[in-house]
Homo-oligomer: A and B are copies of this chain.
Amino acid sequence: MNPRVFLEVDHLSPGERVKVGGEDGHHLVRVLRVGPLESVAIGAAGRGYLTQVESIDAKAGTVTLRVQNELSSHEAKLKVYLLQGMPKAEKTEFIIQHGTELGLNGFLLYQSNRAVARLDGKDAKKQTAKLVRWERVIREAAGQSQRDVVPTLAYAASWSELEKWLTGVAPGLILFLDEEEQALSLKAALTSYAEDALAEQFSQNASAVNASAEEESDGSVRPVVLCIGPEGGWDDNERQSFIQRLGAVPVTLGPRILRTETAGLVGAAAVFYHFHALGG
């Protein structure tokens, strides 16, 4: 497998040269010790490219790559986000790392009422340091798992910040993982969502009728947000706010009790599986 770095550039064309410096350059030169003509993959603007090492400046820690061709997409068509009640720090790392491998598009860490850990203390410097560290974890996991994009990481200290984040994501479905008996099964919620999205699409575009239902159902579905409580769970006010103010659908993953760090991964795996985004 080729090493993969991410660049903040627009579309790349075959033959084009790109110079990689900074942390990525350092990583290629010093850690991976790439040599001339070696293959390196690039993720840029949501696409993957195969490149070849053209020259190396070991002193400066920079590598010049020559683009060979665009790679087939490694991204799921359906965008899935995780809204996670702030867990303990080591669990956060677990969640963002494995969630990135799985294919999540972004994470919101929410300072929910029963969260044990806090990120919104008085020490703004420490808070920033943690976020920077976690962003690096995500970037590394994205490279290792051969993602085309680096998932986003955001933090919401308040309900209004959470709402603002949601506005940016513009989800078509918010799933609220709940242990309550009256929750819908995840499968029922996803089946209904896929059918609604399909119906909406047919009504908008009659020419889509020729495409198969399965192809349609993972193509142009609006993002899904999966909400997972912290170790202590959500409190009743939060439950009410998610369901009544945001229209979140309470769903259950069954009678076995999953830890907060397992629930997000398992729930997201099921969403991707449903929409043919785990290998078709």
Question: A residues touching B (Cβ–Cβ < 8 Å)?
Answer: 1, 72-74, 76, 98, 101-103, 144-147, 183, 185-188, 251-259, 262, 265-266, 269-270, 273-274, 276-280
| Contact B102–A280 (Cβ < 8 Å) | no
Residues of B within 8 A of A76 (CB): 254
In whole angstroms, what is the CA distance A124 to B185 when docked? Answer: 46
A251, A257, A262, A279 — which one has the most chain B CB atoms within 10 A of its CB? Answer: A279
A188-B257 CB under 8 A given contacts A102-B262, A269-B266, A273-B273:
no
Main secondary structure of the interface of A (DSSP, over half): loop
In whole angstroms, what is the CA distance A121 to B144 when docked? Answer: 31
A269-B280 CB under 8 A given contacts A98-B262, A103-B256, A257-B101:
no
| Contact A254–B279 (Cβ < 8 Å) | yes
Residues of B within 8 A of A147 (CB): 256
In whole angstroms, what is the CA distance A203 to B254 when docked? Answer: 31
Number of copies of chain A assembled together: 2
| Contact B102–A258 (Cβ < 8 Å) | yes
A280 and chain B: residue at smallest CB distance: B185
In whole angstroms, what is the CA distance A101 to B266 when docked? Answer: 10
A257: contacting residue among B144, B258, B273, B278, CB under 8 A: B144
Given contacts A102-B258, A102-B262, A185-B279, 4 further A-B contacts (CB under 8 A): A101-B256, A102-B266, A144-B257, A270-B278
| Contact A280–B254 (Cβ < 8 Å) | yes
| Contact A279–B146 (Cβ < 8 Å) | no
